[in-house]
A and B are shown apart, each in its own frame.
Chain A
Amino acid sequence: MADPEILLKLEGIAKNFGEKQALARVDLEIRRGEVHVICGENGAGKSTLMNILAGIHAPDAGTITLDGRIVAIPDPVAASRLGIGMVHQHFALVPSMTVAENLFLGRQLLRFGIFCDRGAMIARTRELIEQYNFRLDPEAAVRTLSVGQRQRVEILKALAFDASILILDEPTAVLTPPEVDELIEVIDGLRRRGRTILFITHKLREVKAVSDRVTIIRQGRSIATHRTSDVSEADMARDMVGRDVFLAGRKRGVARHFGEPVLRLSGVVMNNAAGKRLLDDICFEVLAGEVLGIAGVDGNGQTELSEAIAGLMPIQAGTISLDGRDVTAVGVGDRQQAGLGFIPEDRLDRGLSTVMSVAENVAATNYRRSGLLKGGFVSQERLQRFAGARIAEFDVRGAKPETPAGWLSGGNMQKLVIAREMERDPRLLLVCQPTRGLDIGAAEFVHSRILAAADRGRAVLLVSSELSEIFALSDRIGVMYSGRLMRILDRAEASEENVGQLMNGGGQEAA
């Protein structure tokens, strides 16, 4: 009766957390030896589904059939006994221990029943590494490894105990582009050796690169399963979002008109405590109505540039002026008064307080301007109304004014930050990595907001390491390399080639 090709079958899986429905109905069939991608937007229920398979959550309804038998997975140990190995987004490794020690942590090979058998563990680890061609040193301490290498240790950990199904939860979220390529190679190798892999992601490019089949999940339901080769990225995007997606962008060749300069930097220099130059003689202007994109590989001074403009890091030389007013020596709050809106690159770091409520986060810079005070006290009624309106306007899902901001998914947190900063309709919008970690629907929304601000005559400075984003939104493109602003190109003269070259520090002579 059971199809021997099907290794794992989920039928009608549902899960609620309190009143919140995480999974409504998921059906899924995984064939033996395939790489199957589960694809969906943030908050669609991907992680919940995987946690059910890994024994972390119990489903409220539905059956799991493994190898033709209906199974229950009450806890992670049971999952591992059934041959389900999970690699989480955040690794569970001991940094001070070696690769081999981490691999056998909690299930060490013993000699005479009491001493741990280091030799055997190292040999077994080396065997595994060679078998899968992972290029790791079994005796290296994990803290010396790169993120990509650590991930391979996690994968090995699952494989070492004969996982027949390997679940990778958003494995590329923590990796750099070259590491992603390596991971895709690793997965190819595992497939050739007959392993079955479940791969979770919301990035469509990866789906195409890695998988045999793909199942799309939307709002807790499995929408469709396709052979990857039969389906286009646009189709997958539509399935994920539930409607046609138009990635926002400027039409080429339409002349646009700009106003007066809103932000002007001249000769800005920043050194760190050790005297190293972080920003070197930065000069540029952003005009009203214009989007200036700052491209560059992460860590070339973009963070320092944005912190300098926001007033969070002091500069040693040069001037910054906003709307014609010199704000070089002025604090963050006064810069905001002068017309600055700042969307920081990391919403968890500078964007939000995760333990404070959604309402308090979205009100943080707006108490006075939006009239939330009454007789010196915060009016709860006005605060609720204000927060409710922002939640509706920016479609922050899963948010009520009183929920802690930390309960939201990444994309919705980002919408919260944007809602707060856009509320004042600032003259200058400083936007850093606005769609990092966001899914398509949310990214589309954020982009349309940024363009709308520019159309209203606001100046936008967009700092992003995502080139496609820079190209889609910018009117002019500046490239940073090693603390210097290499060049500013008009959108028309910029191409992936010349910008890419500048990002690597080259191409000055081509100017």
Chain B
Amino acid sequence: MMQVRTRRLVQALGGPLAAIVLTLALGFVLVAAITDQPIEAYRELLFANFDSLGNFALFLNRATPLTLIALGVIFSFRAGIFNVGGEGQLYAGAISATVVGVYLSGLTPFLLLPLSILAGVIAGGILGWIPGVLKVRLAVDEVVTTLMLNIITLLATSYLANGVIRDRSSYGAVSRMVPQSIWLPSIPWVPQATSGFIVAVLLAVATWVVLFRTEWGAELRAAGTNLRFAQAVGVPAARRIIASMWIAGGLAGLAGALYVLGIGHRFEQNFSPAYGLVGLTCALLARIHPIGALATALFYAMMLNGAAYMQIETDVPRSLVNLLTGLLVLFMTARLRAAPREA
């Protein structure tokens, strides 16, 4: 039993690890071709994140929204819904948390903090719920609806940040700051690192438990893998699908709320460097497994931040990282199928 488990673990990790090694090796050839300090560049890319506590904190901050969005994507994908609305749900969560934090700032922090987070979760959840209901009731394609909602949300929040809730005393399209009393504390021993990261780790474990260790999760996966089977064994599949989209949106919304409360402390127009898309990629690279998604989110965060250090220290442009992540996706998806199929 234990041996089987270990072997499966090796099998599950072997592919991704090989893909990462291959990507980094190929990337090194590229870097060597464009700079005369390739080792230096690679050192910055991979290890600068751990040079100082400050860098390490930034690395964790980057990984937090990626992990949360990836977890949301995993819920929806496991239910068979191709939810690409992470970006919109993230913005909805961020702006709702901000509005509650700024406009109800008179409340006691003990009430305001949960209220602000809740607002973010609910806003993201609603944005997930809409495509879920449309999918189940009217068979509207969820890729279209989630993508459209991304654009609507991005533009709507831009409008709000540019006018309605704009902080006129500061430069740029940003809201006023939420009161310092509800800023999330940083992780002990790692100043500047948001404790949102701890929340993300806990939720990754919780997601795994819910999906793989509860009857509800089994029903959700049944609906996702074979809807007609799920119906035949009495699973209320429509309800499970809608619930999965609620959760998916809620987690992305939470990512937005935690970003505001823990990192940005205000809503900034276009604050996300495509976290929605990168989070989706993290989930897919982890083969929609929550613990794996935590790992891929950390890897992406390392690459994204490392690229910046690399650009500062050497003459290698940070866009190299786009190339590397592209290669990684290629190697992960083009992996050879080892098991022969037998009729």
Contacts and interface: CB of A to CB of B under 8 A. Distances in A.
Interface of A: 17-18, 22, 47-48, 51, 57, 89, 169, 310, 312, 331-336, 342, 344, 349-356, 360, 363-365, 367-368, 373, 376-378, 380, 402, 420
B343 interface: yes
Contacts of A344: 232
B342 A310 contact: no
Contacts of B340: 17, 57
B225 A378 contact: no
Contact of B229 (A335, A353, A380): A353
Task: Choose among B228, B231, B233 the residue with the greatest number of A CB atoms under 10 Å from its CB.
Answer: B233
Interface in B321-343: 339-340, 342-343
Given A17-B340, A17-B342, A355 B225 contact: yes
B221 A47 contact: no
A351 B215 contact: no
Contacts of B339: 17-18
B342 to A, nearest CB: 6
Contacts of A312: 231-232
A75 to B, nearest CB: 14
A376 B210 CA distance: 10
A336 to B, nearest CB: 5
B4 interface: yes
B102 interface: no
Contacts of A336: 233-234
Interface string B1-39: 000100000000000000000000000000000000000
Given A356-B222, A378-B215, A47 B343 contact: yes
A22 B222 contact: no
Q: Is the interface of A mostly helix, strand, loop or mixed?
A: mixed
B180 interface: no
Nearest to B228: A350
Contact of B209 (A350, A351, A377): A377
A353 B236 contact: no
A353 B222 contact: yes
B218 A342 contact: no
Given A352-B226, A364-B222, A89 B343 contact: yes
Contacts of B277: none
A380 B213 CA distance: 8
Given A376-B214, A378-B213, A356 B225 contact: yes
B221 A310 contact: no
B343 A350 contact: no
Contacts of A22: 342
B226 A353 contact: yes
Q: Is the interface of B mostly helix, strand, loop or mixed?
A: helix
A51 B209 CA distance: 42
Interface of B: 4, 209, 213-215, 218, 221-222, 225-226, 228-236, 339-340, 342-343
A330 B103 CA distance: 48
Contacts of B236: 331, 333
| Top 9 A-B residue pairs of the complex, sorted by shortest distance between their CB atoms | A333-B234, A47-B343, A350-B232, A353-B226, A332-B234, A353-B225, A364-B233, A367-B215, A365-B233
Contact of A351 (B213, B232, B343): B232
Given A47-B343, A352-B226, A367 B234 contact: no
Contacts of A354: 225-226
A60 to B, nearest CB: 12
Nearest to A398: B342
Nearest to B5: A402
Given A17-B342, A47-B343, A360 B232 contact: no
Contacts of B230: 353
Contacts of A356: 218, 221-222, 225
A144 to B, nearest CB: 28
B234 A331 contact: yes
A333 B215 CA distance: 14
Nearest to A347: B229
Contacts of A376: 214
Contact of A48 (B214, B231, B342): B342
11 contacts: A169-B343, A312-B231, A331-B234, A331-B236, A333-B235, A352-B226, A353-B222, A367-B215, A367-B218, A368-B215, A420-B233
B65 to A, nearest CB: 29
A335 B231 CA distance: 12
A378 B218 contact: yes
Contacts of B228: 349-350
A169 B342 CA distance: 13
B232 A332 contact: yes
A331 B218 CA distance: 19
Contact of B234 (A57, A169, A365, A377): A365
Contacts of A57: 340
A173 B224 CA distance: 29
Given A332-B231, A351-B232, 12 more contacts: A17-B339, A169-B343, A312-B231, A332-B234, A334-B234, A336-B233, A342-B232, A352-B226, A355-B226, A360-B218, A363-B218, A378-B214
B232 A373 contact: no
A368 B234 CA distance: 13
A321 to B, nearest CB: 18
Contacts of B225: 353-356
Nearest to A89: B343
A129 B230 CA distance: 46
A479 B228 CA distance: 27
Contacts of B231: 312, 332, 350
B229 A352 contact: yes
A191 B189 CA distance: 83
A277 to B, nearest CB: 24
Task: Choose among A336, A353, A354, A376 the residue with the greatest number of B CB atoms under 10 Å from its CB.
Answer: A353
Nearest to B231: A312
B218 to A, nearest CB: 6
A362 to B, nearest CB: 11
